[in-house]
Structure formats: C-alpha cells, structure tokens
Structure 1
Amino acid sequence: MSRLRTERRWRLPWPRSLLGRMLLLTLLAVLLAQGLASLIWLSQLRASQLEGLVASARSLAHSMTASVSYFRSLPVAYRPMVLDQLRSMGGTRFVVSLNDRPLDMQMLPATPRKKAVIEAVEQVLRQRLGEQMSISVEFVSPRELRVFNSGLKLDELPRSWAHYALTLAPLDPPVLVTQIGLAPGEWLYIASLLPEPYTSLEEEGVPGQQIGFMVLTSTFLLLFIGVLVHWQSRPLKRLARAARDLSLGAAEVEPVVEGGGSEVVEVGRAFNAMRERISRYLTERSQLFSAISHDLRTPITRLRLRVELLDDEQLQHKFSRDLDELEMLVKGALQCVKDTDIHENIEPIDLAQALHGLIEPYLGTGQVTLEGQVLAPYPGKPLALRRCMGNLIDNALKYGQRAHLRIEDGDQAFVLHVDDEGPGVPEQRLEQVFEPHFRLAGQQQGYGLGLGIARNIAHSHGGELTLQNLREGGLRVTLSLPRTGD
C-alpha cells in the first residue's frame, strides 16, 4: 500500500483542461519530430564530415608519398640540408626529421574518426610506396610528442618552426605522426596536423543554431495551438455552463450560441433542441400534475361528504379509512413532484448558514452535533438544498434519536456526513429505502419520501446520496455535491 502511495505521489500530473492537454501533446509531438529530424540531420552531417575527413587524409597521404619519393631521390649528403630549409620556413603545419630508429610515443585512444584517418593514410602510403615498406601511423598528444632520437619534447624545440607548426592554441589538437623506414638505420619522421575544419577530430553535438530553431518553432507552435484551442473551446465552455444550468433546473436557460467547428456547431444545435424538448416536457408535466391535483381532490371531497350521510357507522368508518389512504397517496405523489421540481434561480449559497439554521432548534438538547467548516459558497438552488439537508437531519432524528454532522469541503466537492444512532438498514434494503412510500418494519411515520426527495435534489445538482451502515451501529448518509462546474 505504501509503495502504491509513493508511486502516485511521484506520478506526473496530467492536465485536466482541453487546452492543457492539447499543449502538452503538441509539445511532445514537436519535441519528438524535432528530435528525430535533428538525429537524421546530425547523422548525415557527420557522414559528410567523415567523408571530407577521409578525403583530406588521403590528400595528406599523397603529399607524404611525394615527400618520401623526393627524399629517396636525394643523395644522402643533401638530405640534412633540405631538412634545415624546411625547418626555417616557419608557419607550416608539419615537421620532418630523419632518425636512426622509430620513436616510441604514447598513442591517443582510438576513436572512429582517428581510425578512419589512420586507415586512409596507411592505405595510400602502401599503395604508393609498396607493401614491403615499414610504415607506422598514429595520433599523439602534443604534450607527449617527440621529434628526434634525443627525445626532445615539442615545447623544448625552437618556437620559430616546430611549435607554431604543430599547435593551434587553445585547441591543442592531436598530431598525426607518420614514421617510414627508408633504409636500415634511417627513418623519415613526419608530424603534421589535419587541415581545417578537421583539426580537432571531435564529433560535434547539435549546433546551437539548431537548438535555437527547435525552441523557436516549438514556442510558435504552442502559441498557435493555444490560441486555436482557446478559440475552439469557448463554445464548449458556453455549452457546459448551459448544460449545468439546465441540470440544476434553472427557470430560463438561454439557447447556446452555435459557433466553432462543424462538430461543435452540431453539438450546440442538438443541445438547443434537447433544451426545447425538456422545457416543453416540464411545462406539460407541471400542467398535468396541477390538473391531476384538481381532478382528484374534487371527487375525494364529494366522497367524504357522501360518507358523512351514511347511516351505517361501520361502513362509514371503512369508507373513511380508504379515503384517507387514497388522499395520503395523492398528497405524497404531489409532494414528491413539488419537492423535487422547485423552480429557483441558481445562486451562491452559504451552506454553513443554511446548516446552522436547520440545527439551531436542537443545539441546546445535544441531539445534533456539527464538525468541520464550509470553505466557500456553493452555487445551487437554496430552498432545494435546504430541504435536502433538512430531510437528512429529520430522518436521522426520527429513526436514530441523534444526528452527528461532519463537513468535508474542498476544491472538488462539498461532502456532508449525517450519522445517527439508530438500528441501521439491512444491507439488502439500502437501495429500497430511496423508493417512494417504502418503510422498514416498525416505521409508520411520514410518507416515506424524505430520502428519495433528498437524493433527487442531489442528482439535480450533479451530486449523489449514499447510505452506509456504521460498524459501531447506526446509519451514515453521505451527501456529495461537486464543485467542478463552479
């Protein structure tokens, strides 16, 4: 149980409004599309960069083969002089020397780009110089670079040529070191940098311009979708307000203005047609029950007068009892319709004041207790809700001697618990007690309409009325009225 509560606590909240959900889904779709597009673009960019890098490496390898061929064609006595001329040139991005053995240096860790460059250089050198040549190609950090057999570091060499040739401060790029065995005891050493823009050999991430473009397009789309959804949702909000007013039994509900998309227009048109049918039905029902009330009361009154003229008292008593029962059924039916079809305007109700007005006569006797507070007014029909809560309190006092009221109010709903100290209701009869004229064994008071009327009033406000037998004895009646449409 604690684990489930922890998971629920850390679960991301899902927006409840249509605007919030549309913006969230749009943002996720945009980020997914932009991410996939950026990955495809970045993979193509890196492929083209790798292709250019390999081409530059091959070009550099061709230059190396030309240098090797030139050195091999020179007499041995001229080679040191040519090396001195190369060193005095300055500004070049390579250093050449002759050593009596290959220099041993620490190689940099291999990466896909470094491997591609080394393979391309070795392939060209072996194709042009021959497979039998001793060739070593590797990348070395400038801090670990050695140029001569003496083991001099790059910083220890004259800055007029070697240092400027092999460094690009502050990048400090890796140096490509190629050592080729020309003859026994004679190794040609070539240290060089790759040309721009491949000097660093590092794979770049998504450029800042691409990230800025993603942020700009996402913001524009969210603003556009937000305005569009807000514009399209206005007819739905008007429809929701009209539907709530109609469900609360407002006397006059104006037709909904038909607007928005074609689907929303169809919904508004259907609602207006339904509103007209319901209004016509309520009017006809009110007229029907008024006629029934008039038509039934008149013959009942005539029958009572005729019963009074009977000489047989026993027969007179039987007729009177039947007429009383018939009159009670008629009054009960009319009262049920009257109490659940109260035509009132919807207005903010101070439920705390309404409750205190209902329980004030019992506060001195200790029959009624009240706990909790009402946080905000509730929009509804004042007389109907007062009758609903009054029926619950009267029912608890009538069948349970005492009524203990507890309020639980919040942003989502107003909840009122009414507990009594009576015998409760059998579990199989919890739903039957809401039916008109239903009474449990031993209950003979009233018409048996209180709970049914209270539940109908709760339903008309979008709420619910439930019953629950308490473990310690008694019955709990819970009235729940939602605040979601406020």
Structure 2
Amino acid sequence: MLLLTLLAVLLGQALSSVIWLSQLRATQMEGLLNSARSLAYSMAASVSYFRSLPVSYRPLVLDQLRSMGGTRFVVSLNEHPLDMQQLPATPRKDAVIQTVDDVLRQSLGRQLRIAVWFVGPDDLRLFNSGLKLDELPRSWAHYALTLEPVNPPVLVTQIEMAPGEWLYIASLLPEPYTLLEDPQPPVQQVWSIALTSAFLLLFIGLLVHWQSRPLKRLARAARDLSLDVDSAPQIEGGGSEVQEVSRAFHTMRNRISRYLTERGQLFSAISHDLRTPITRLRLRVELLDDPALQARFERDLDELELLVKGALQCVKDTDIHENIEPVDLNHLLDCLVEPYLLPGGEGRVIVYGTAQAPYAGKPLALRRCIGNLIDNALKYGHRAHLRIEDSDEAFVLHVDDEGPGVPEQRLEQVFEPSVRLASNQPGYGLGLGIARNIAHSHGGEVSLQNIRDGGLRVTLCLPRID
C-alpha cells in the first residue's frame, strides 16, 4: 500500500509539475513574443526616423547617439550587410526572429531586404570595418549590448534603406527574456514537491500502520485459533470495516468452540450408550448353545467394538482443548525414545540433532503426534532415524524408517481414517491422520516422501509463531 501510495504521489506531483511547467513556458513565450513585437515597432520607428533625415544629417545623428551612450539600440550605417557567425537556432530564437521580421515588413514594406540574426557578443561586428565589440569605446556600445557577467545573445537587424546603404540595429531583449532559455523548475518548486510527498507518505504511513495493526493481531489470532480457542479476544481499533471483520471472527471463533464442545459431549454420550448394549449382547451370546453361531456373534461384536474404539480414539487424540505452554522438545523426545533403548545405549530409535529452544504448543498433543510417527516407523520399518532441523522460523523433525515405503499414488490416502497398508499389523489405521490433525492444530504440516535407498520419510514441520 505504501509503495502504491508513493507511486501515486510521485505520478500526481510529476503530472502537476508538467502542467505547471507547460503553462509557465506558454506564458513566457507569449511575453517573449510581445516583447519582440514592441522591440520591432521601436526598430521600425527608428528606421522611419532615419529615412526622414536628409542623407547628410544621418552621420551627425549617429555620432550624437554614440556620444550619448546608454541608448536602447546600437545603430550604424554600413555600405553592405555585415557577415557574422549566427548562434544555433532554437524554437525561442526562431519565434523572435520571425516576429521581428513580420512586424518590420508590415510597418516598412514587404519589398525591403531585411536580415535578422542572433549573434554572440564575442562574434558581434559593427561598422563597415567589421570591428568587434571589445575594440570600441565602452560608451559607444557596451552599455547597450553587454550584461556582464551573463553576456546574453544580441539581436542584430540589418535593413537596406537604399542601394549601398544598410541600417544596422543591435539590441538586447528586455528582462526577463534576455537569455532566451526555456524555463526550468525553480528550486523552490522542487523542494515543495519533495516536502509535500514526504508529508503525504508520513501521514499515509501512519494511517496504514493504524489500520494494519489490528489486522496483524487478527491474523495472529486466526493462526492461533486452533491452538487456543478459549483465550479472550483482544482485537480492537482500526476502521469500521476492520472492527466488523473482528466481530465476525469472534463470532466464528465462539461457534467453533461450541461445536468442538458439543462434538466431545456427543462422542462421550455415544461411547456410554454403546458400551451398555454391547456388554448386554455379549452376555446373551454366552447363553447360546450353538458354538458356531456364538462365534459369529462374537466376531460381529468385536468388529463393532473396534469401530467404536477407533472413532473415540480419533476424537480423543485430535482434541484441541489443551492449554498452550512452552514444551521442551528434547525432553519430550528423550521420554519417547527411552522405551526403545537397549542396555548398550543404542536401540531401534536414533536421534540426530537437538532443538534449539522450547516450542509453544500443547504438550500431550505433541507427545501423541511424535509418538504416532515413531510407532508407525517402528511398525512398518523396524528402525526409526529421527533428524532435527531447528531454526527461528520452524521446528522440523524427519522420521526415517527402513521399511518398504508407500506407493506414490497412496501417499495422501494413508492419512485418511482406517486406511492401513498392512492388514496383518494391529491398529486402527488412525496414527498418521491423528498426527497430521495435531500438526494442523499447531499451524504445521505432516508430509510423506519415499527415500531413494528404501524406506519412508515422514516430515513434521511446526512453525514458531511470534
């Protein structure tokens, strides 16, 4: 959300800056063209003035202008147009040149020969001799054509007044268009964008944190739901939608709790109700005179009792009504492995590695889970190799046996209740299913994998929840 917000803020600021800069450029271009027109009208007035003077008076007026200094234009009369190196063309230079040319031709006549250029101060030439600006007295042209230390481009206009008589006019554009440069975003604008973006991200970050904190607590409560159903809910704060989700979650939590309680009571009642008729039927079977019929009845009763015990054991071993507490997994494994040790110190179960820290879980449930995995390995593989991989993220236990393994197509089927691959082994076929249910109640998983060299690997992964 923060990354998307940052992207939206930057795109919004960039779009507003582009619009503002385009408007600024359009405004400045309009002002530049208006200044160029005004300058061109002044040039046209100067040309008209010199045209009105007698030919003999024109050099006298030019000497007076040079002596006065500080005039807007530097004017001279030349026998031919002066050749100078022009500055590279830009859109603004071309727009000014075109505007000045149009105004002069409109005011003085379309048939006139006019040359309008932009020239750098170092390449500027004046008079028939082609003198440079630095070679003239400062009072003649420097005050009108230089703006140290900037030295902007000079607009040179040469107009043919008569054959062999060219009026030379050089001038600078007025401020703020002297340099003819495209406007760049000012430093204040850049700082404004940066500070606005920073403040927006700060406040949005606080808002996201305020909204996500109850969601994080809700997610933690959802992960711990199967572990600690009876704990008091502590999810508060956030917006109305988050509070509504929290209330719905608590409602679901209470319904699950009631369902589990009612399920336990139901199976307890079934156990109590079924044991009495089964016992009564056994007593009546003892009174039968036909041994063959008596054997058939006893076999049916044994099967019925086996089904009842299996169902009750499944409910009992996956019961999640147990308090959460730190479990010393090393001690738990030692207690489970001890019955299989031989006098020499070795036995049918070998443990590799140790747990780095206690695990927050249900002691009896974890004992049943790991015990079922060990019993299953010993039942079908004769020996069990336990390998521990512990980290800050999860506790992983690999239980390897030396049996024939499980067909690939039945790796998931063996977790279903009453599914047994070896019918000659005692049991109800519930061990792996119960182990997986207990792992799920802790937010973990039990998975199977055939070992290449033979045997089955059962992996128990229990995440460490902060």
Structure-2-length-normalised TM-score: 0.88
- One-letter amino acid of the structure 1 residue matched with residue 43 of structure 2: M
Tell me the residue number matched to 1:163.
142
Tell me the residue number matched to 1:209.
188
Provide the C-alpha distance between the structure 1 equivalents of 2:128 and 2:371, rounded to a whole number of angstroms. 106
Provide the C-alpha distance between the structure 1 equivalents of 2:356 and 2:87, rounded to a whole number of angstroms. 70
Tell me the residue number matched to 2:318.
340
Provide the C-alpha distance between the structure 2 equivalents of 1:408 and 1:93, rounded to a whole number of angstroms. 89
Tell me the residue number matched to 1:384.
365
1:72 aligned onto 2:55:
no
Q: 1:473 to 1:211 in 2, by over 3 A?
A: same
3-state secondary structure, aligned to 1:136: strand
1:223 aligned onto 2:202:
yes
Q: CA deviation at 1:232?
A: 2.9
Contact persistence 2:24–2:183 (CA under 8 A): no
1:122 aligned onto 2:104:
no
3-state secondary structure, aligned to 2:131: coil
Aligned residue among 258, 280, 286 for 1:280: 258
Q: 1:352 to 1:40 in 2, by over 3 A?
A: farther
Aligned residue among 450, 453, 463 for 2:434: 453
3-state secondary structure, aligned to 2:322: coil
Tell me the residue number matched to 1:232.
211
- One-letter amino acid of the structure 1 residue matched with residue 28 of structure 2: Q
Aligned residue among 218, 221, 226 for 1:247: 226
3-state secondary structure, aligned to 2:192: helix
Provide the C-alpha distance between the structure 2 equivalents of 1:80 and 1:258, rounded to a whole number of angstroms. 94
Q: 1:284 to 1:115 in 2, by over 3 A?
A: same
Q: 1:409 to 1:277 in 2, by over 3 A?
A: same
Aligned residue among 18, 30, 34 for 2:9: 30
Provide the C-alpha distance between the structure 1 equivalents of 2:460 and 2:133, rounded to a whole number of angstroms. 87
Q: CA deviation at 1:35?
A: 1.4
Q: 1:410 to 1:204 in 2, by over 3 A?
A: farther
Q: CA deviation at 1:332?
A: 2.3
Matches within 5 A, 1:56-455: 56-248=35-227, 250=228, 252-255=230-233, 259-302=237-280, 321-349=299-327, 351=329, 354-355=332-333, 358-359=336-337, 364-365=346-347, 367-370=349-352, 378-407=359-388, 413-441=394-422, 443-455=424-436
Q: CA deviation at 1:83?
A: 2.2
- One-letter amino acid of the structure 2 residue matched with residue 270 of structure 1: A
Q: 1:99 to 1:379 in 2, by over 3 A?
A: farther
Contact persistence 1:348–1:378 (CA under 8 A): yes
3-state secondary structure, aligned to 1:345: coil
3-state secondary structure, aligned to 2:159: strand
3-state secondary structure, aligned to 1:76: coil
Tell me the residue number matched to 2:455.
474
Provide the C-alpha distance between the structure 2 equivalents of 1:206 and 1:107, rounded to a whole number of angstroms. 29
Q: CA deviation at 1:52?
A: 0.5
3-state secondary structure, aligned to 2:230: coil
Contact persistence 1:367–1:401 (CA under 8 A): no
Structure-1-length-normalised TM-score: 0.85
After TM superposition, the structure 1 stretch with the greater mean CA deviation from structure 2, 93-102 or 357-366, is 357-366
Q: Which runs of 5+ in 1 are unaligned?
A: 1-20
3-state secondary structure, aligned to 1:45: helix
Q: CA deviation at 1:432?
A: 1.6
Contact persistence 1:462–1:481 (CA under 8 A): yes
Q: CA deviation at 1:307?
A: 5.9
Provide the C-alpha distance between the structure 2 equivalents of 1:354 and 1:142, rounded to a whole number of angstroms. 93
3-state secondary structure, aligned to 1:246: coil
Q: 1:144 to 1:389 in 2, by over 3 A?
A: farther
Provide the C-alpha distance between the structure 1 equivalents of 2:72 and 2:357, rounded to a whole number of angstroms. 80
Q: 1:154 to 1:216 in 2, by over 3 A?
A: same
Tell me the residue number matched to 1:9.
none
3-state secondary structure, aligned to 2:224: helix
Radius of gyration: which is bigger? 2
Q: CA deviation at 1:109?
A: 1.5
Tell me the residue number matched to 1:11.
none
Provide the C-alpha distance between the structure 2 equivalents of 1:358 and 1:147, rounded to a whole number of angstroms. 108
Q: CA deviation at 1:177?
A: 1.3
Provide the C-alpha distance between the structure 2 equivalents of 1:175 and 1:349, rounded to a whole number of angstroms. 88
Contact persistence 2:224–2:442 (CA under 8 A): no
3-state secondary structure, aligned to 2:56: helix
Aligned residue among 27, 30, 35 for 1:51: 30
Give the fraction of aligned pairs with identical amino acids, expressed as a percent. Answer: 77
Provide the C-alpha distance between the structure 2 equivalents of 1:183 and 1:82, rounded to a whole number of angstroms. 18
Provide the C-alpha distance between the structure 1 equivalents of 2:385 and 2:149, rounded to a whole number of angstroms. 81
Provide the C-alpha distance between the structure 1 equivalents of 2:363 and 2:119, rounded to a whole number of angstroms. 87
Provide the C-alpha distance between the structure 1 equivalents of 2:355 and 2:3, rounded to a whole number of angstroms. 35
Provide the C-alpha distance between the structure 1 equivalents of 2:167 and 2:419, rounded to a whole number of angstroms. 112
Provide the C-alpha distance between the structure 1 equivalents of 2:69 and 2:388, rounded to a whole number of angstroms. 90
- One-letter amino acid of the structure 2 residue matched with residue 460 of structure 1: S
Q: 1:399 to 1:170 in 2, by over 3 A?
A: farther
Provide the C-alpha distance between the structure 2 equivalents of 1:93 and 1:141, rounded to a whole number of angstroms. 18
Q: CA deviation at 1:339?
A: 1.3
Q: 1:389 to 1:51 in 2, by over 3 A?
A: same
Q: CA deviation at 1:455?
A: 0.9
Q: CA deviation at 1:317?
A: 5.6
Contact persistence 2:229–2:253 (CA under 8 A): no
Q: 1:164 to 1:452 in 2, by over 3 A?
A: same
- One-letter amino acid of the structure 2 residue matched with residue 46 of structure 1: R
Provide the C-alpha distance between the structure 1 equivalents of 2:316 and 2:106, rounded to a whole number of angstroms. 106
Contact persistence 1:256–1:268 (CA under 8 A): no
Q: How many residues align?
A: 462
Provide the C-alpha distance between the structure 1 equivalents of 2:134 and 2:335, rounded to a whole number of angstroms. 96
